[in-house]
Amino acid sequence: MTSEPEDLNILEVVMPRSHLATACAALIVLAPMLGACTGADTPTTTPSAGTGSSVGPSGESGPQPGFELLRFSNPTSVDNRWFPLRPGTQFVYEGETVEDGRTTEHRVVSTVTDLVKVIAGVPNVVVWDRDFAGDELVEAEIAFFAQADDGDIWRFGEYPEAYEAGELVETPAWIHGIKDAQAGLFMMASPKVSADSYAQGWGPEVDWSDRAIVQDTGQEACVRAGCYSDVLITDEFSLDEPGAHQLKYYAPEVGNIQVGWTGDDPTQETLELVEIVQLSEADMAEVREEAMKLEEQAYVNSKEVYGRTTPMTPAE
C-alpha cells in the first residue's frame, strides 16, 4: 500500500511557521527537519512481507507473540528513530474531535518525564499525557514504554483517568503481567509496509485491544511545527471499535507529528504537532510532582491492577 485511502481525513492545511506558538517559560526547540515539503512527487514504497520486527504477526486478536524471547539490556535509553523518548521533551498538539455530535477543539500535551517505573523486572520510561477540550482537562494518563535490544519499543501499560465536568468517571488501567495483560509492540525499529497487524498491548480486563499496521513509509507532511519528509504512517484500530481507524504520522528523530482518521470513527479525531518544548529543570520538577500525584491516585483507584506495582522513581 503506497497511497492514502480516498476517504482519508487528516489536517491537510500547511500553516506558516509564524503561527507557531511561543512558550513563555521554556525553550522551544523545533524538531529536526529532515527535508521540507517542496511540492515534489510523493515518494512511493514497495510493500514487503513481514512486519520488519523480530517478532512475528499475531493475527487480528490477542497479545503480541514473542515477548518472552526479548532482551531489555538498556530499556530506558529509547532512541528508536520513529519514537525517541528524551526526558524533558514536551510535545503540544492541537486539533478537533467530535463528542455527542458536536465538533470540539482539543489540545494534547505529552511530556517525557525523567521518571522510571519497573514492570515485570523491566525499567520503563514514563510519559505523562493530558488531553484538554477547550480549557477543560478531560483525560490524564501515565504510560510506560521500554526499548528492547532489537530497537523495538514496547508499551507495558497505562493508567488513564477520564473526567466529565471535572469529575472522575473511569480509570481503565492495564499493566503487563497483571490480570492477563501483556505488553504490546508499539513501534518497530525498522517498520515495513505490510497488511499484517501487530498488537500494541493487551488488557482484556478493560477491553484494551489496540492493534496497528504499517500503512505507508517515505511520505511528506507539513504541520504547524514544520515540514517533514520520510514520514511513517500507521493505521491503528481496536476490536471494540470495528470500522474505526486512527492514522498516525511519525517523522524521523521526532515522533508523532499528526493524527487523522478514516472509516467509521465516531470521534473523528485530528491532531497536529504545534510545538516541541525542551523543559527547564524547574519545569521538570513540576512535571515529576504532577505525574507522581497521578500515580498516588492510581494506587487508590486501581488497587487490583496498579496497586500491585512498585512506585515510579526518578531516573538515576
Q: What is the pLDDT of residues 116-133, one digit of tens each?
A: 999 999 999 999 999 999
Question: Do residues 95 and 11 lie in contact, with contact meaning Cβ atoms separated by under 8 Å?
Answer: yes
Q: Which three cell numbers stand for residue 152?
A: 523495538
- pLDDT confidence bin for 111, thresholds 50/70/90: very high
Spatial distance between the Cα atoms of 136 and 113, rounded to a whole number of angstroms: 23
pLDDT(273) > 90: yes
Say which amino acid occupies 23.
A
Measured over all CA atoms, what is the biggest interatomic distance in the chain, rounded to whole angstroms?
54
Q: Which three cell numbers stand for residue 191?
A: 517498520
Of 229, 235, 243, nearest in space to 10 by CA: 235
Specify the higher pLDDT residue, 316 or 28: 316
Which pairs from 200-203 meet CB under 8 Å and 24+ separation? 200/64, 200/155, 200/236, 201/155, 201/157, 201/158, 201/174, 202/62, 202/63, 202/64, 202/174, 203/157, 203/172, 203/174, 203/179
Over residues 191-231, the pLDDT tens digits come to 999 999 999 999 999 999 999 999 999 999 999 999 999 99
Q: What is the predicted pLDDT for the residue at 176?
A: 98
- pLDDT confidence bin for 59, thresholds 50/70/90: low
State what percent of residues in the chain have pLDDT above 70.
81
| 97-101, 111-115, 222-226: least confident range | 97-101
Cβ-Cβ contacts under 8 Å for 10 (sequence gap 6 or more): 4, 247, 249, 258, 259, 260, 261, 270
Is pTM beyond 0.85? Reply is no
- pLDDT confidence bin for 316, thresholds 50/70/90: confident
- pLDDT confidence bin for 255, thresholds 50/70/90: very high
pLDDT(4) > 90: no
pLDDT(181) > 60: yes
Q: Which residues pair with 146 in a beta bridge?
A: 154
- End-to-end alpha carbon distance in the chain: 43
Of 72, 69, 73, nearest in space to 55 by CA: 69
Arithmetic mean of pLDDT, 299-315: 98
Q: What is the predicted pLDDT for the residue at 167?
A: 97
Strand ranges for 165-282 from DSSP E: 167-170, 174-175, 182-187, 198-199, 201-202, 211-223, 226-237, 244-251, 255-263, 270-278
Question: Do residues 291 and 128 lie in contact, with contact meaning Cβ atoms separated by under 8 Å?
Answer: yes
Q: Which three cell numbers stand for residue 183?
A: 505488553
Question: Do residues 192 and 77 lie in contact, with contact meaning Cβ atoms separated by under 8 Å?
Answer: no
Average pLDDT score over the chain: 85
